[in-house]
């Protein structure tokens, strides 16, 4: 009989739950619940399991916040719970709560050629380290290394490293943002709000007054070619994505590839392809040759969080990915 586990991907707005076939990793019955319409994770899991009519005893839920102890509190929502209590209340044998980017990284070994778009470089080297990063509401980062015939995801808060400018234009941006924010992390430029920060800094460095724009306004005006500042901001966003990805590649020698996740880049794919992204990725001075062949892939699979939560759980249960 097919054995199923519960998998989940919980963000600030939506909680997605699904079944995962333990032997194959196949995801089915994907159901999305609005987090604002429910009191907590246990409530939506119960609703989901009542629908399924399956004897589910194992689960893995990816969630958008740092996971450091039993008590889990979401960053952008008021859901909070004890993992131990949740496992006991659901009468599960096994329940893991993992960070959402840990899940995205664990999905990578499961992806096929159809799930990605390559941006330059050669072929990925099997079992070499992998980096994944993604701009969305924030900037998520994770690394994946292959040790003792299993994949290990290295967590961290890599989105909060210092923004490292590498051109006169980027120096100007840093100066303006530092005056406003103090510490300028990479996330302050590589996220939805980051795109707006770039636009505002470009306008302010020219001693003009920026408009009150949303991230979507900046990318739409850039694509429509109706605002030169927005176009510069979007171009710079792509270049800084390249520099940041190149830094991840250098740090861990990611000859297994660098992957881009997150909801922002897919919204202007053609612009991204034609941008200075790859040149900036390789713009590493004496180490240009080192990163030259490292492939970059954008993940286009629509549920990498669920796929990765399933992969994480299956590996814990002793399956080989
Ligand atoms: N067309 C667009 N161009 C640029 N940024 C956009 C666009 N549409 C939305 N955004 C920004 O993208 C960010 C949301 O990113 P994303 O869609 O990856 O969701 P998330 O909140 O990070 O993830 P989840 O869906 O798991 O909660 C927001 O900052 C939003 O303002």
150-154 and 296-299 beta bridge pairing = unpaired
Atom of ligand 1 minimally distant from the CA of 100: 26
Q: How many CB atoms lie within 10 A of CB 64?
A: 21
Note the ipTM here: 0.95
Residue nearest atom 1 of ligand 1, based on CA coordinates: 216
Q: Are 139 and 194 in contact (CB under 8 A)?
A: yes
Domains and CATH numbers, the chain: 4-98+303-316 (3.30.420.40), 112-300 (3.40.367.20)
* Atom of ligand 1 lying closest to residue 192 CA: 29
235 lines ligand 1 (CB under 6 A): no
Q: Strands across the sheet with 130-135, in order?
A: 116-118, 296-299, 258-261, 130-135, 139-147, 150-154
Q: What is the pLDDT of residue 298?
A: 98
Closest atom of ligand 1 to CA, residue 134: 18
What's the gap in Å between 100 CA and the centre of ligand 1?
Answer: 15
> Is the Cβ atom of 141 under 6 angstroms away from ligand 1?
no
| CA–CA gap between residue 262 and residue 38 (Å, rounded) | 25
What confidence score (pLDDT) does residue 26 get? 94
Nearest CA to ligand 1 atom 7: 216
Please report, in tens digits, the pLDDT of each residue of the chain (321 residues total).
889 999 999 987 899 999 999 999 999 999 999 999 999 999 999 999 999 989 999 999 999 888 989 999 987 788 999 999 999 999 999 999 999 999 999 999 999 999 999 999 999 999 999 999 999 988 999 999 999 989 999 988 899 999 999 999 999 999 999 999 999 999 999 999 999 999 999 999 999 999 999 999 999 999 999 999 999 999 999 999 999 999 999 999 999 999 999 999 999 999 999 999 999 999 999 999 999 999 999 999 999 999 999 999 999 988 877
Distance 88 CA to ligand 1 centre (A): 35
Exposed/middle/buried for 93, CB within 10 Å: 0-12, 13-18, 19+? exposed
Q: What is the per-residue pLDDT for 283?
A: 98
Are the C-beta atoms of 83 and 294 separated by less than 8 Å? no
Find out whether 144 and 315 touch, Cβ atoms under 8 Å.
no
Cα separation, 280 vs 129, in Å, equals 21
Pick the closest to residue 83 from 56, 61, 57, 105 (CA basis).
61
């Amino acid at each position: 009989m097919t054995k199923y586990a519960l998998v989940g991907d919980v963000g600030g707005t939506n909680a997605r739950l699904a079944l995962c076939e333990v032997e194959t990793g196949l995801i089915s019955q994907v159901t999305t619940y609005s987090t604002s319409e429910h009191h907590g994770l246990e409530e939506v899991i119960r609703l989901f399991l009542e629908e399924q009519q399956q004897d589910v005893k194992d689960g893995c839920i990816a969630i958008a916040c740092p996971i450091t102890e039993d008590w889990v509190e979401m960053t952008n929502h008021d859901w909070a719970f004890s993992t131990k209590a949740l496992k006991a209340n659901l009468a599960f044998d096994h329940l893991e709560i993992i960070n959402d980017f840990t899940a995205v990284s664990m999905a990578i070994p499961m992806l096929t050629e159809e799930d990605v778009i390559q941006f330059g470089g050669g072929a990925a080297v099997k079992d070499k380290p992998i980096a994944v990063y993604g701009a969305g509401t924030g900037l998520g980062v994770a690394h994946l290394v292959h040790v003792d015939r299993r994949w290990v995801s290295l967590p961290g808060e890599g989105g909060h490293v210092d923004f490292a400018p590498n051109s006169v234009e980027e120096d100007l941006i840093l100066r303006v943002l530092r005056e406003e924010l103090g510490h300028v992390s990479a996330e302050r430029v590589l996220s939805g709000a980051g795109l707006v920060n770039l636009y505002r800094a470009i306008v302010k460095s020219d001693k003009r007054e920026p408009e009150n724009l949303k991230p979507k306004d900046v990318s739409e005006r850039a694509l429509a070619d109706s605002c030169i500042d927005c176009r510069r901001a979007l171009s710079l966003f792509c270049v800084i994505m390249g520099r940041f990805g190149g830094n991840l590649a250098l740090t861990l020698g990611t000859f297994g590839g660098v992957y881009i996740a997150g909801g922002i880049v897919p919204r202007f794919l053609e612009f991204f392809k034609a941008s200075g992204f790859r040149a900036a990725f390789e713009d590493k001075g004496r180490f240009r040759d080192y990163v030259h062949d490292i492939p970059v892939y954008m993940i286009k699979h629509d549920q990498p969080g669920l796929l990765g939560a399933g992969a994480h759980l299956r590996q814990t249960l002793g399956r080989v990915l």
